[in-house]
Amino acid sequence: MSNALAAADVVTQFVCRQGDRCLVLSHRLQQCITHAPQLEEELAIANIALDLLGQARSLYTYAAGRIGPDLTEDDLAFGRDADEFWPPALVEQPNTDFALVMGRQLLHDLWADELWRAMRSSTDPTLAAIAGKAAKETAYHLLHASTWVVTLGDSTPEAHDRMSAALTALWPFVDELFSTDDLVASVAALGVAPDPATLRRSWDARLDAILEDATLTRPTGQARPPTGRDRCSDDLRAVIDELHELHAQHPGARW
């Protein structure tokens, strides 16, 4: 599996990487199930997790089909070691409290909203179609996350402080979203996806407007230095191991 993906073209690898982002964030949200502050919010989080899982499935299905006719989405989701997943570190961050869950969602959804809207005009028609559907879902996710960040930020001193602390904790992982490596540069050159650096200006402006409503200020922490992909983080390995548990014990299990 890993060799097939490593040998695949840049578009396939990029699609798979986007699938990794959606799958890992979906799983982080699924870990909130039975831990949400109220039943209504639990349903909202589950809905968003399910949307992200659907996006991951579309992306993996497309990537698998490009690698070979015998591969499926499950091969990409369950047939790879944690080392072979490549999500941005932001979406790996553990659920320490509700403020962090919503802060992580806000920073991600704002970025994903910019990405999907730009990718609706991708030169790859399948990706453009996936982006069209995902853009609508993401607009709602963003609305929900920004509502909570504003609600918590402009609330009691404890809520304000915890929201502020969550954004500070997440801030070191923001720059990675807008960074470029060889793969990202290649797909940008093909017109398949935007150069993420071009999304930053709009992302910054929209985030500042939300933070102003929330009476919060933008964190000033330094970006985490890139670790390279020699080894995946413990957080990512924990997510992937949990995700793979059922499949490892019962290969090919179905509902």
Partner 1 sequence: MTVATSTDGELFEVFVRPRRGVSHIHAGSVHAASAALALQYGRDLFTRRLEGVSIWVVPASAVTASQPDDADGLFAPAEDKDFRYPGYYELPDGIENI
Considering only residues 187 to 246 of the shown chain, the ones binding partner 1 according to CB under 8 A are none
Q: Of 69 and 157, which CB lies nearer to partner 1 in the complex structure?
A: 157
Q: Supply 33's token pair.
A: 């199930």
Q: Does 147 bind partner 1 (CB under 8 A)?
A: yes
What SS3 class is residue 179? coil
Q: Indicate the residue among 143 and 189 with the shorter CB distance to partner 1.
A: 143
For residues 27 and 110, the answer to whether their CB atoms sit within 8 Å is no
Report in angstroms how near the CB of residue 160 gets to partner 1 at its nearest.
11
Instruction: Name which position in 156, 220, 222, 249 contacts partner 1 (CB under 8 A).
Output: 156
- Per CB under 8 A, 44 contacts partner 1: yes
Note whether 154 binds partner 1 by CB under 8 A.
yes
- Residue 70 binds to partner 1 (criterion: CB under 8 A): no
Q: Work out which of 144, 167, 173, 243 binds partner 1, going by CB under 8 A.
A: 144
CB 56 within 8 A of CB 19: yes
Who contacts 29 (Cβ-Cβ below 8 Å, separation ≥6)?
45, 46, 48, 49, 52, 101, 105
- From the list 1, 4, 31, 47, which residue makes contact with partner 1 (rule: CB under 8 A)? 47
Q: Is 249 in the site for partner 1 (CB under 8 A)?
A: no
Residue 108: which of 87, 77, 126, 130 has the closest Cα?
Answer: 87
Joined together, the tokens standing for residue 175 give 């720059």
Q: How far is the CB of 32 from partner 1 (least distance, A)?
A: 15
Alpha-carbon distances, residue 72 vs 61, 62, 66, 67, 239 (angstroms): 6, 9, 10, 9, 21
Residue 34 in the binding site for partner 1 (CB under 8 A):
no
